[in-house]
């Protein structure tokens, strides 16, 4: 995309859309973000992002990407109170029937609220005069034909509003998992992307609290009790800014956490260990309990052949939406924006629509493999991509050995956390030191009860 008299339109003004607009401003004269909602003045909840009332994390790989796009923004998040948690030393983690050792941190994550993150990114991105936002405006379709998209059809939200065409040289769909792009593409004679879906039937309920007290002598800053096929109920407790904590209870189909207070606390008491319920009993609730039920994995394969127009790209959850319980969405939005920047800046290759779209799909692949791979193994999971391929069986065998050693083997555990935080590629599992531990070391002992104190740096490996 050259810089001469060009206009780009981004559909959706949430995190993925704003970061895409920030990249595109260096390749177009003007960028217009079309946003259905109206932005609040500060770090407040808004209807257009219903999931912002739940726990959010910025993984290490996402933090690095965010800093590459908006230098200093992670520091701004910390300055505004977003906690930084070390993994695994700050966290009580129970998974697969085992407590994890609290060894020195191999990675860190930011746990500030979604409204805070959105506000700081929005403030920085929209300060650039090359970017304009049409708030309270919805896209009703694409302009153009099956060969090229030439803009979008828009109208103000509300009954009886007139539709007009907003011309553009490039349209980027960042409208999230509920994207209507499949219908828009059909309407101009093009083919929608093939969708891969995996739904483990996960549901969760969330409430914000004023901090209670940890058990005597305990120093943890969060709790994570993971769910899997054998343990259908889980919980997550994380600090956010403003001396608040967010508690999230999760369950697969038939184990959905309630939204009434008594039922919520009873569900917490049913987890494999009482530590989270005991913490909640000492804390003061600040909000109602909010439920979220749209937790399937959806990947739209725009990278595959098909009759699709030039000038149209998808990014963020409009491209690849994950089960939110794995905390990948914001990080992948930032990684997609870095991939978009790199593809457009690459002077060795012409940034065709197909080439750029393939780069966006590729950067989301690792997060998809983690989220979809875990949910695929859940009994009763449904969707077009549930059935494992024969070629995946050797990798699944190796990964099982990895997971068995994560709670107690520091070499394997630290690598697992780096890969899970999208800061290292999955090939890190096959580094010689890690492979030796996975293939030849016995499964080590792990703590028999919640480790209330972290280990010292010189503790055994």
Q: Are 277 and 326 within one domain? A: no
Q: Domain tally for the chain? A: 2
Would residue 443 count as lying in a domain?
Answer: no
Residue 219 lies in a domain: yes
Q: What is the CATH number of the domain that holds 254?
A: 3.30.70.2450
The CA distance from 357 to 311, in Å, is: 10
Q: What is the pLDDT of residue 213?
A: 66
- Residue at 344 is within a domain: yes
Are residues 159 and 18 located together in one domain of the fold? yes
β-bridge pairing 290-292 and 222-225: unpaired
Specify if 74 maps to a domain. Answer: no
pLDDT tens digit string along 148-167?
999 999 999 987 789 999 99
432 occurs within a structural domain: no
Are 240 and 267 in the same domain? Answer: yes
Question: Domain range holding 129?
Answer: 7-56+117-197+295-373
Domain for residue 109, yes or no? no
- What local confidence, expressed as pLDDT, does residue 153 receive? 98
Calpha distance 241→78 (Å, rounded): 9
Do 304 and 315 lie in one domain? The reply is: yes
200-232 pLDDT, tens digit each: 999 999 999 998 667 666 889 999 999 888 889
The residue to which tokens 């129970």 are assigned: 94
What mean pLDDT value characterizes the chain?
93
Question: Which of 272, 292, 312 is the endpoint of a domain?
Answer: 292
- Quickly state the pLDDT bin for 374 (edges 50, 70, 90): confident
Interhelix angle 15-24/60-69, rounded to 10 degrees, is 40
Distance, in Å, from the CA atom of 358 to the CA atom of 266, rounded to the nearest integer, reads 46
Residues 152 and 18 placed together within one structural domain of the fold: yes
Per-residue pLDDT of 251-298, as tens digits, reads 988 899 999 999 999 999 999 999 999 999 999 999 999 998 878 999
The answer to whether residues 141 and 274 belong to one domain is no
Residues 236 and 351 in one domain: no
Give the per-residue pLDDT at 166.
Answer: 98
- Examine residue 80 and state whether it is found in any structural domain, yes or no: no
Are residues 273 and 131 part of one domain?
no
Query: Do 271 and 125 have their domain in common?
Result: no
Token look-up 């977003």 returns 82
Backbone phi and psi for residue 367, each to the nearest 5 degrees, phi listed first:
-65, -40
Is there a single domain that holds both residue 307 and residue 340?
yes
Report yes or no: 330 and 111 within 8 Å, Cβ to Cβ: no
Residues 304 and 348 in one domain: yes
Gap between the Cα atoms of 169 and 16, Å rounded = 19
Q: Which of 235, 264, 292 is the last residue of a domain?
A: 292
Q: Is residue 263 assigned to a domain?
A: yes
26 and 133 part of one domain: yes
Region 370-381: mean pLDDT is 89
326-355 pLDDT, tens digit each: 899 999 999 999 999 999 999 888 889 999
Q: Which two tokens stand for residue 424?
A: 């290292």
Q: What percent of the chain has pLDDT over 90?
A: 84
List the single range of 40-54, 306-320, 338-352 with lowest mean pLDDT.
40-54
Handedness of CA 113, 118, 121, 123 (dihedral sign): negative
């Amino acid at each position: 995309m050259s810089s001469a008299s060009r206009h780009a339109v981004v559909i959706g003004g949430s995190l993925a859309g704003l970061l895409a607009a920030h990249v595109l401003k260096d390749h177009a004269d003007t960028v217009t973000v079309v946003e259905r909602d109206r932005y609040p003045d500060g770090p407040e909840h808004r209807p257009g992002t219903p999931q912002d009332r739940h726990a959010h994390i910025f993984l290490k790989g996402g933090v690095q990407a965010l800093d590459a796009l908006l230098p200093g923004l992670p520091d701004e998040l910390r300055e505004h109170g977003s906690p930084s948690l070390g993994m695994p030393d700050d966290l009580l983690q129970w998974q697969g029937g085992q407590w994890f050792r609290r060894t020195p941190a191999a990675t860190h994550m930011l746990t500030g609220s979604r409204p805070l993150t959105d506000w700081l990114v929005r403030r920085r991105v929209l300060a650039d005069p090359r970017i304009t936002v049409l708030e309270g405006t919805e896209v009703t379709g694409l302009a153009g034909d099956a060969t090229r998209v030439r803009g979008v059809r828009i109208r103000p939200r509300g009954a009886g509003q007139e539709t007009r065409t907003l011309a553009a040289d490039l349209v980027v769909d960042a409208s999230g998992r509920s994207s209507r792009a499949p219908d828009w593409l059909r309407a101009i004679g093009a083919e929608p992307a093939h969708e891969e879906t995996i739904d483990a039937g996960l549901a969760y309920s969330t409430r914000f609290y004023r901090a209670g007290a940890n058990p005597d002598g305990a120093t943890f800053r969060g709790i994570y009790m993971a769910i899997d096929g054998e343990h259908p109920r889980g919980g997550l407790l994380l600090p956010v800014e403003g001396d608040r904590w967010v508690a999230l209870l999760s369950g697969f189909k038939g184990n959905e956490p309630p939204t009434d207070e008594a039922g919520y606390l009873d569900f917490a008491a049913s987890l494999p260990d009482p530590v989270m319920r005991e913490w909640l009993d000492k804390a003061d609730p600040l909000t109602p309990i909010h439920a979220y039920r749209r937790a399937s994995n959806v990947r739209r394969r725009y990278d595959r052949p098909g009759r699709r127009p030039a000038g149209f790209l998808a990014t963020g959850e409009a491209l690849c939406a994950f089960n939110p319980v794995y905390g990948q969405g914001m990080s992948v939005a930032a990684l997609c924006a870095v991939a978009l920047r790199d593809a457009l800046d690459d002077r060795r290759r012409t940034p065709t629509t197909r080439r750029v779209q393939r780069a966006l799909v590729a950067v989301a692949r690792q997060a998809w493999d983690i989220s979809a791979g875990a949910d695929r193994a859940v009994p009763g999971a449904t969707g077009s991509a549930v059935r494992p391929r024969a070629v995946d069986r050797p990798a699944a065998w190796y990964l099982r050995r990895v997971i068995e050693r994560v709670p107690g083997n520091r070499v394997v555990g630290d690598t697992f956390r780096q890969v899970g935080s999208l800061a290292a590629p999955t090939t890190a599992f096959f580094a010689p030191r890690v492979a030796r531990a996975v293939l030849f070391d016995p499964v080590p002992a792990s703590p028999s009860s919640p480790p209330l104190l972290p280990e010292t740096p010189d503790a055994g490996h």
